[in-house]
């Protein structure tokens, strides 16, 4: 990823307080303060990488944020498009036709954004470019073509929980989110779940959500997974209300985080890039799930940085500092400080080892774990 110039990266932050300026405008001003306008966009194809949100989930970012960024890019003579790659699992984003339909349903379309929406890895998720990276887990990465061929990457990330990695932020959106079907399969293959039989009530919910027909009910109406077919997408873990499918952490957790970091390095290799995290609606699960639970913390604010590792590191720390929402999934952990100072993502997924994953991202040259948080008041942000 190039030689490190410093061990500490600047991360700009502003909260959601406002008077007079809309939140999308506030985010735009913060991004500009963090250097967005310093990027040469002239005649460049600019991928604004988002997550459109699985229909049914209402925690995904509103299109207004992407539209604001697209407008800045156009002002600076760039050619923006808003993009995401197809999902690995069953749902409304598994191919480009359904994915575009879902994006439109959630407010992402050319009329609302002022630029095109492109499904980055084509009709069935096989349109990728191979990027050679020669790292610990992968020698080559399969990156969705429209992302691989873009000149500039802007990641616009909803910061929230994730069933396998603890949280999903910039690296998750860039790395996992830009993998084609083959790429996502490569990353997920360490996370094949096991069934805790005593928890399974035989409801069949997981069976109907598995896109690979890898999970069935046995003669005792207990779920069983065919490991030869399972791709480790984690969908059965997300949909089961009884904690029966459980991630096998022998190889998962940190290994998945490291693989995502390597894919992020492949996506950003040789490109100008910029990152925005929005810490709002911090549901325990990610936007790939067709519902969202009560946020575990109150809405915190916007962050912007040139460094994808530092922005995730700062975002996770801000969530750690925040109080726990009383009626959320973490309510039992509320102490005399209201949960302030507790690592919420490790409470949600103790085995995710997200700090080690960020350290690995730093080791491979993707950015710095250490950051300087530059707080902007809303008047000046």
Name which of 78 and 245 has its Cβ closer to ligand SF4.
245
In the complex, what is the shortest distance from the CB of residue 185 to ligand SF4, in angstroms, rounded to a whole number? Answer: 10
Segment interacting with ligand SF4 (CB under 6 A) among 79-87, 222-230, 265-273, 276-284: 222-230
Site string for ligand SF4, 85-124 (x = CB under 6 A): ----x-----------------------------------
Q: Does 225 bind ligand SF4 (CB under 6 A)?
A: yes
Q: Does 163 bind ligand SF4 (CB under 6 A)?
A: no
| SS3 state of residue 125 | coil
Q: Does 256 bind ligand SF4 (CB under 6 A)?
A: no
Q: Does 145 bind ligand SF4 (CB under 6 A)?
A: no
Token pair of 214, please? Answer: 């890898």
Could you give the angle at which helices 308-321 and 354-363 cross, rounded to 10 degrees?
160
The secondary structure of 14-71 as a DSSP string is: E-S--SSS-HHHHHHHHHHHTTGGGS--TT-EEEEE-----TT---SPPHHHHHHHHH
Q: Does 367 bind ligand SF4 (CB under 6 A)?
A: no
Q: Does 349 bind ligand SF4 (CB under 6 A)?
A: no
Segment interacting with ligand SF4 (CB under 6 A) among 99-107, 115-123, 157-165, 228-236: 228-236
Kindly list the distances between the CA atom of residue 124 and the CA atoms of 95, 121, 178, 232, 315, in Å, as whole numbers in the listed order.
Answer: 5, 7, 14, 19, 33
Task: Give start and end residues of each alpha helix (H) in 106-204.
Answer: 110-113, 145-148, 170-171, 177-178, 181-188
Q: Output the CA torsion sign for 57, 32, 308, 314.
A: negative
Name which of 42 and 220 has its Cβ closer to ligand SF4.
220
Q: Does 206 bind ligand SF4 (CB under 6 A)?
A: yes
Name which of 134 and 198 has its Cβ closer to ligand SF4.
198
Name which of 171 and 200 has its Cβ closer to ligand SF4.
200
Name which of 234 and 284 has its Cβ closer to ligand SF4.
234
CB 73 within 8 A of CB 308: no
Q: Does 278 bind ligand SF4 (CB under 6 A)?
A: no
Name which of 90 and 269 has its Cβ closer to ligand SF4.
90
In the complex, what is the shortest distance from the CB of residue 150 to ligand SF4, in angstroms, rounded to a whole number? Answer: 29
CB 32 within 8 A of CB 306: no
CB 88 within 8 A of CB 189: no
Q: Does 200 bind ligand SF4 (CB under 6 A)?
A: yes
Question: Contacts with ligand SF4: how many residues (CB under 6 A)?
Answer: 27
Q: CA geometry: angle at 29 spanning 308 and 307, to 5°?
A: 10
Of residues 30, 174, 244, 296, which one binds ligand SF4 by CB under 6 A? 244
Name which of 236 and 255 has its Cβ closer to ligand SF4.
236
Q: Does 202 bind ligand SF4 (CB under 6 A)?
A: yes
Q: Give the β-pairing of 301-305 and 371-375.
A: unpaired
Segment interacting with ligand SF4 (CB under 6 A) among 61-69, 233-241, 267-275, 373-381: 233-241
CB 320 within 8 A of CB 344: yes
Segment interacting with ligand SF4 (CB under 6 A) among 97-105, 236-244, 259-267, 283-291: 236-244
Kindly list the distances between the CA atom of residue 206 and the CA atoms of 32, 165, 243, 245, 348, in Å, as whole numbers in the listed order.
Answer: 44, 20, 11, 9, 21
Name which of 198 and 380 has its Cβ closer to ligand SF4.
198
**Residue count (the chain):** 381
Q: What is the DSSP letter of 181?
A: H
> Interface with ligand SF4 by CB under 6 A: which residues?
89, 193, 195, 200-206, 210, 212, 214-215, 223, 225, 230-236, 240, 242, 244-245
């Amino acid at each position: 990823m190039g030689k490190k110039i410093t061990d500490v990266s600047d991360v700009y932050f502003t909260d959601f307080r406002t008077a007079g300026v809309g939140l999308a405008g506030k985010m735009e001003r913060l991004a500009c303060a963090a250097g967005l306008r310093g990027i040469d966009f002239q005649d460049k194809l600019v991928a604004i990488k988002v997550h459109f949100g699985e229909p049914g989930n209402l925690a995904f970012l509103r299109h207004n944020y992407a539209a604001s960024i697209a407008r800045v890019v156009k002002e600076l003579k760039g050619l923006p498009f808003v993009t995401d790659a197809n999902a690995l699992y069953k749902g409304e984003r598994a191919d480009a036709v359904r994915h575009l339909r879902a994006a439109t349903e959630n407010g992402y379309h050319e009329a609302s954004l002022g630029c095109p929406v492109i499904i980055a890895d084509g009709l069935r998720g096989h349109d990728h470019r191979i990027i050679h990276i020669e790292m610990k887990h992968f020698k080559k990465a399969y990156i969705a073509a429209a992302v691989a061929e873009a000149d500039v990457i802007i990641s616009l990330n909803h910061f929230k929980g994730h069933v396998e990695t603890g949280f999903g932020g910039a690296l998750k959106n860039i790395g996992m989110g830009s993998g084609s079907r083959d790429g996502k399969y490569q990353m997920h293959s360490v996370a094949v779940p096991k069934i805790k039989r005593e928890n399974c009530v035989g409801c069949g919910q997981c069976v109907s959500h598995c896109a690979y027909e890898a999970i069935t009910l046995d003669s005792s109406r207990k779920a069983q997974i065919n490991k030869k077919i399972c791709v480790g997408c984690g969908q059965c873990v997300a949909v089961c209300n009884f904690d029966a499918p459980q991630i096998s952490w022998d190889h998962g957790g940190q290994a998945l985080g490291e693989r995502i970091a390597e894919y992020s390095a492949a996506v950003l290799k040789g490109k100008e890039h910029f990152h925005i995290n929005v810490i709002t609606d911090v549901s325990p699960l990610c936007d790939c799930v067709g519902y969202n639970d009560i946020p575990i913390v109150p809405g915190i604010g916007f962050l912007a940085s040139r460094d994808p590792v530092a922005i995730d590191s700062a975002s996770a720390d801000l969530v750690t500092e925040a109080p726990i929402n009383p009626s959320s999934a973490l309510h039992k952990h509320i102490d005399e400080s209201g949960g302030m100072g507790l690592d919420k993502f490790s409470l949600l997924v103790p085995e995710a080892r997200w700090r080690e994953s960020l350290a690995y991202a730093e080791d491979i040259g993707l950015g710095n774990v250490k950051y300087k948080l530059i707080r902007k008041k809303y008047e000046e942000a």
